[in-house]
Amino acid sequence: MGIFTRTRLDQVWGGGYVHPLNIAFRRALAWVPPGPGRMLEVGCGAGRFLRTIGRRRPGWELHGCDLSAVSLRAGRSFPEPVEYVLADAHNLPYRDASFDFVLMVDVLEHLPRPEQALAEAFRVLRPGGRFHLLVPCEGQPLTLYWLTDRLKVGADLKERHGGHIQRFTHADILRLLRGAGFRVRNVRYSMHPVGQLKDFLFYVEREGWAGWLRRNLPFKLFIRVLWVIAHLESTLLGRVSLSAVAMHVSCERPKSPCCGS
Q: Where are the domains of the chain?
A: 6-252
d(CA 229, CA 104) in angstroms, rounded, equals 26
Mean per-residue pLDDT for 107-119?
98
- Reply yes or no on whether the pLDDT at 108 is more than 80: yes
CB of 109 within 8 A of CB of 168? Answer: yes
d(CA 152, CA 164) in angstroms, rounded, equals 16
In this predicted structure, what is the pLDDT of residue 94?
99
**Neighbouring-strand partners of residue 103:** 41, 132
In this predicted structure, what is the pLDDT of residue 211?
67
d(CA 99, CA 95) in angstroms, rounded, equals 9
Mean per-residue pLDDT for 47-63?
96
The larger pLDDT score, comparing residue 96 to residue 260, is at 96
Shortest CA distance to 5 belongs to which of 135, 165, 206, 167?
A: 165
Give me the phi and psi of 36, to 5 degrees please. -80, 165
d(CA 252, CA 233) in angstroms, rounded, equals 28
d(CA 170, CA 55) in angstroms, rounded, equals 31
- Reply yes or no on whether the pLDDT at 143 is more than 60: yes
Mean per-residue pLDDT for 142-163?
85
In this predicted structure, what is the pLDDT of residue 217?
72
- Reply yes or no on whether the pLDDT at 261 is more than 80: no
d(CA 72, CA 239) in angstroms, rounded, equals 34
Mean per-residue pLDDT for 241-258?
92
In this predicted structure, what is the pLDDT of residue 3?
44
Report the Cα 186 to chain-centroid distance in Å.
16
CATH class of 6-252: alpha beta
Average pLDDT score, the chain: 91
Instruction: Look up residue 127 and give its amino acid.
Output: P
Cis peptide before 36 (omega within 30 of 0): yes
Write a three-state SS string for the chain. CCCCCHHHHCCCCCCCCCCCCCHHHHHHHCCCCCCCEEEEEECCCCCHHHHHHHHHCCCEEEEEEECCHHHHHHHHCCCCCEEEEECECCECCCCCCCEEEEEEECCHHHCCCHHHHHHHHHHHEEEEEEEEEEEECCCCCCCHHHHHHHHCCCCCHHHHHHCCCCCCCHHHHHHHHHHHCCEEEEEEEECCHHHHHHHHHHHHCCCHHHHHHHCCHHHHHHHHHHHHHHHHHHHHCCCCCCCCCEEEEEEECCCCCCCCC
Confidence of residue 12 (pLDDT cuts 50, 70, 90): low
Confidence of residue 204 (pLDDT cuts 50, 70, 90): confident
Compute the half-sphere exposure of residue 155: CA atoms within 13 Å on the CB side of its CA. 11
Strand 246-252 to 183-190 pairing = antiparallel
In this predicted structure, what is the pLDDT of residue 201?
87
Instruction: Look up residue 137 and give its amino acid.
Output: C
The larger pLDDT score, comparing residue 99 to residue 151, is at 99
**Neighbouring-strand partners of residue 91:** 88
Instruction: List the single range of 2-16, 40-54, 183-197 with lowest mean pLDDT.
Output: 2-16
Instruction: List the single range of 35-39, 107-111, 205-209, 250-254 with lowest mean pLDDT.
Output: 205-209
